[in-house]
């Protein structure tokens, strides 16, 4: 895994691009909005987001529980903390408390989209947000942005490994290789 392509172009959204992306989502319907915000606030993979059900939403704890799909096992889960405002919208938009009480609805996915539809929807929001073309303008760019943001905010690498569902700490360590504004933030912390 890497943060730059062979030509040196970044594969993650920078902080300004993430903020522009989130701003565009404010006016969107709750279903698409919560999906895109889930990718942004949790750093999950598209397939992991599409597998979410009401059972995976721990609204009182402000956590989302993901089945770590790349582990090739069905019993590897991780909890990722999320912002209160995000959770408030998730609870209302997807009727989480009501669906958690109904045995027939607790395990029904929150979004019934194909992976391709989810990808195109997310890319469309990025275009609308004015994010310039490039390999970073993808849902995976949001996952990488989550990792870079965590490192620049002093989240311990072991915690980030857990949140992102990485098997090896060496995979998570790539996020410490941020450049540009992100690197400047890290350097500023060193000298302040």
Of 8-17, 55-64, 66-75, 91-100, which gets the smallest average pLDDT? 66-75
Report the distance separating Cα 74 and Cα 67, nearest Å.
Answer: 7
Residues 140, 11 contacting (CB under 8 angstroms): yes
Under the banding of pLDDT at 50, 70 and 90, the label for residue 41 is: very high
Percentage of the chain lying above the pLDDT 70 cut: 89
Strand partners, 79: 65
Place of tokens 């990488």: 144
* Angle, in degrees to the nearest 10, between helices 30-42 and 139-152: 50
Q: Which two tokens stand for residue 170?
A: 């060496």
pLDDT of residue 88: 97
Q: CA geometry: angle at 172 spanning 67 and 167, to 5°?
A: 45
Query: Residues of the chain with pLDDT > 90: what percent?
Result: 71
- pLDDT one-digit tens code per residue, 120-135: 999 999 999 999 999 9
- pTM of the shown model: 0.88
Distance CA 171, CA 136 (A): 18
pLDDT in tens, 135-168: 999 999 999 999 999 988 889 999 999 999 988 8
pLDDT at 179: 57
Nearest alpha-carbon partner for 145 in 31, 32, 42, 24: 42
Q: Is 85 exposed, middle or buried (0-12, 13-18, 19+ CB in 10 A)?
A: exposed
Report the candidate in 174, 154, 179 with the shortest Cα–Cα distance to residue 164: 174
Q: How many residues does the chain have?
A: 192
Q: In this predicted structure, what is the pLDDT of residue 7? A: 85
CA–CA separation, 54 vs 91, rounded Å?
9
- Say if CB 160 and CB 151 are below 8 A apart: yes
CB-count exposure of residue 18 (10 Å: 0-12, 13-18, 19+): buried
Residue 74 has pLDDT above 70, yes or no: no
pLDDT tens digits, one per residue of 75-86: 688 999 999 999
């Amino acid at each position: 895994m890497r943060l730059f392509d062979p030509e040196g172009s970044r594969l993650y959204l920078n902080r300004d691009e993430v903020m522009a992306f989130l701003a565009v989502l404010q006016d969107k319907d709750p279903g698409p909005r919560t999906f895109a915000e889930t990718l942004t606030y949790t750093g999950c993979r598209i397939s992991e987001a599409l597998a979410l059900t009401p059972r995976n939403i721990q609204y009182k704890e402000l956590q989302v529980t993901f089945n770590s799909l790349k582990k090739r096992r069905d019993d590897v889960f991780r909890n990722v903390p999320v912002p209160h405002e995000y959770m408030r919208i998730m609870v209302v938009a997807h009727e989480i408390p009501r669906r958690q009480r109904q045995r027939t609805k607790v395990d029904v996915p929150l979004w019934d989209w194909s992976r391709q539809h989810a990808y195109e929807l997310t890319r469309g929001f990025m275009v609308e947000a004015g994010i310039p073309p490039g390999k970073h303008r993808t849902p995976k760019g949001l996952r990488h942005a989550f990792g870079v943001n965590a490192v620049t905010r002093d989240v311990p690498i072991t915690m980030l490994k857990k949140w992102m569902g990485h098997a090896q700490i060496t995979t998570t360590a790539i996020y410490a290789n941020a450049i540009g504004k992100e690197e400047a933030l890290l350097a500023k912390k060193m000298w302040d």
